[in-house]
């Protein structure tokens, strides 16, 4: 029977893109990874990798072995977690990657509650707006926001929310500049724009009517917090997802304008590799985040 440790070293080498990166991830010498992969090839009697100073690629048979090795590692971890679940609450490391807005407005106030609920969990949150390959980079969960449905993939998708993008402004701005009665009136108001080239907002209502309006650009920023703070300071009107503006509206720092109109919506989805999503610790985190997302969307009395 094959040495499962050798399969583990092989899968880590492939996931990491090389022996050196795998050694750093595993905390062992590079020579150990190389020797264990060589031992696996010897046991199988087949070459699994084409490797040189510049290239590191799977052979055809190596690709098949990698698929089974990855599945075996997940099953081994699942077996360990099943025992842990029987003995105690979810435990272990769960690695999450999320965009900056999701980290700031969806996770920052939730993770302490998650940590208190499951004290044996260790959450590692990586915040970036760049695309992250969950499998290649070793993440258990990704939280991604998007305007169109995500393409089909091998990842399991769980929809967290769909947030309308609404117009908001500070009460002090409206006192100074007057109320906004129609979308067309926005052309007479200062706009806080979300990209450096944005000039118009495209608004629509529930009946399918659309209109493009061009406010007077007062400030451009491609990150949500500066736009939010500028709006709270009374600099102008801004389009933001409700997730971002909700707390400021509840506390009276902002008010919603033209409630019948939105500038589209943004969807947020949890993605996880299929087998990793079955691990008790990962599943506990996903269930917690979905539960909280549902609670956030319930109307308040």
**CATH code at position 122:** 3.40.190.10
The predicted pLDDT at position 87 comes to 56
State how far the Cα of 3 lies from the Cα of 5, in Å rounded to an integer: 5
Picking from 48, 79, 110, the residue at the C-terminal end of a domain is 79
Residues 157 and 281 in one domain: yes
State how far the Cα of 50 lies from the Cα of 58, in Å rounded to an integer: 6
Picking from 44, 79, 114, the residue at the C-terminal end of a domain is 79
Residues 152 and 224 in one domain: no
Check residue 151 and report its DSSP letter: P
Domain count within the chain: 3
Residues 17 and 151 in one domain: no
The predicted pLDDT at position 86 comes to 62
Residues 151 and 38 in one domain: no
Residues 31 and 125 in one domain: no
User: What confidence tens digit (pLDDT) does each residue in 22-33 have?
Assistant: 899 889 998 999
Residues 256 and 270 in one domain: no
pTM for this predicted structure? 0.67
Identify the domain containing residue 182 by its residue range.
Answer: 163-265
Residues 64 and 201 in one domain: no
CATH code of 62's domain: 1.10.10.10
Residues 234 and 170 in one domain: yes
Query: H or E element: which one contains 201?
Result: strand 201-205
Residues 198 and 252 in one domain: yes
The predicted pLDDT at position 2 comes to 80
Helices H / strands E in the chain, number of each = 11, 14
CATH code of 200's domain: 3.40.190.290
State how far the Cα of 106 lies from the Cα of 141, in Å rounded to an integer: 14
Picking from 41, 59, 79, the residue at the C-terminal end of a domain is 79
Decide if 238 contacts 230 (C-beta within 8 A). Answer: yes
Residues 214 and 255 in one domain: yes
Residues 190 and 225 in one domain: yes
Residues of the chain with confidence (pLDDT) below 50: 299-301
Residues 58 and 35 in one domain: yes
The predicted pLDDT at position 51 comes to 78
């Amino acid at each position: 029977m094959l040495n499962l440790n050798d399969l583990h070293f092989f899968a880590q080498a492939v996931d990491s893109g090389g022996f050196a990166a795998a050694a750093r991830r595993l905390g062992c010498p590079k020579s150990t990874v190389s020797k264990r992969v060589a031992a696996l090839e010897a046991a199988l009697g087949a070459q699994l990798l084409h490797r040189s100073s510049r290239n590191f690629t799977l052979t055809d048979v190596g690709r098949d072995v990698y698929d089974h090795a990855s599945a075996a590692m997940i099953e081994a971890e699942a077996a360990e977690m099943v025992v842990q679940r029987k003995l105690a609450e979810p435990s272990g490391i769960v690695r999450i990657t999320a965009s900056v807005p999701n980290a700031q407005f969806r996770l920052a106030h939730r993770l302490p509650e998650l940590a208190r609920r499951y004290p044996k969990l260790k959450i590692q949150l990586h915040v970036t707006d760049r695309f992250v390959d969950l499998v290649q980079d070793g993440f258990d969960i990704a939280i991604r926001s998007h305007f169109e449905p995500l393409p089909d993939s091998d990842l399991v998708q769980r929809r967290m929310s769909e947030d309308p993008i609404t117009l908001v402004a500070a009460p002090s701005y409206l006192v100074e500049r007057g109320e906004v009665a129609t979308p067309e009136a926005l052309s007479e108001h200062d706009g806080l724009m979300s990209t450096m080239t944005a000039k118009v907002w495209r608004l629509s209502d529930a009946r399918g009517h659309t209109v493009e309006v061009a406010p007077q650009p007062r400030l451009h920023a491609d990150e949500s917090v500066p736009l939010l703070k500028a709006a709270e300071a009374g600099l102008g009107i801004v389009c933001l997802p409700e997730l971002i503006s909700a707390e400021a509206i509840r506390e009276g720092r902002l008010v919603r304008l033209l409630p019948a109109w939105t500038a589209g919506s943004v969807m947020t989805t949890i993605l996880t590799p299929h087998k990793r999503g079955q691990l008790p610790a990962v599943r506990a985190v996903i269930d917690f985040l979905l539960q909280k997302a549902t609670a956030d969307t319930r109307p308040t009395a």
